Structure 1
Amino acid sequence: MDEAERCHRLAILQRGRLMTEGSPEQLKHELPAVPLLVQTPTPRKAQQVIRDLDGVFSSVQIGASLRVLVTEADRQQTIDQALRRAGINASVAPTDANLEDVFVAATHHQQAREGQPS
């Protein structure tokens, strides 16, 4: 994805179908999801709580934090409350979109339609 950041225009294909296209900045700006950063000393435990919540596209561990894509900004509060109920100390905050987020969001819709896990 590092090289893709330097391109003028990108297209994301899945199984021969065009999922989205545009400049890197345009694709990040038009991301149909809200990226959140969850910082916690127990990321695996937090991920187990988060992955089954409504409105969560994906949850990926990066070091000691999680990068979570949600359908709406108000899911930040839902995630924060769910983690607290589970006894997990964490901070949940919006973060800038990246091309990994664009890829996940673009391919998630097709996988969901086909009944595949994201």
Structure 2
Amino acid sequence: MHTFNCTCGHSIAIIPPSEHAGYVVLDSDADLHIDNRTVTIRAFLDAVRTGRRSEWLTEFYGPNVPQPRFAQKDDADVIEDILSNSDSWTRFLYRCPMCGRIHIETSPRSRSFKTYAEN
């Protein structure tokens, strides 16, 4: 469970799925990264087709991850990991149930938030 403190003092408990948390993706952020994600998926699929899957996985996950862990992943798992690891544009959003303020992450993975309140 994650908690987020609102500027009104209320502590927001985030228990997925949560009606107090969400995500924001700006078009300009996503457009910059979609092509990179596609290139990585194509490289993985090419490695599978050409028999270099194991080598590609070592490069993607790093040499410190044991080979048996790779064996447990099917291709769909690897593609999900590619999508998750390449998500550098999603910003977290929190809504305070007490005061209604919206807190949006100023930049992806920054853990810094800008707060908006109703007038």
Q: Which has the larger radius of gyration?
A: 2
Q: Which has the higher strand share?
A: 1
Same fold (TM over 0.5): no
Task: Give the TM-score of the pair, scaled to structure 2.
Answer: 0.25
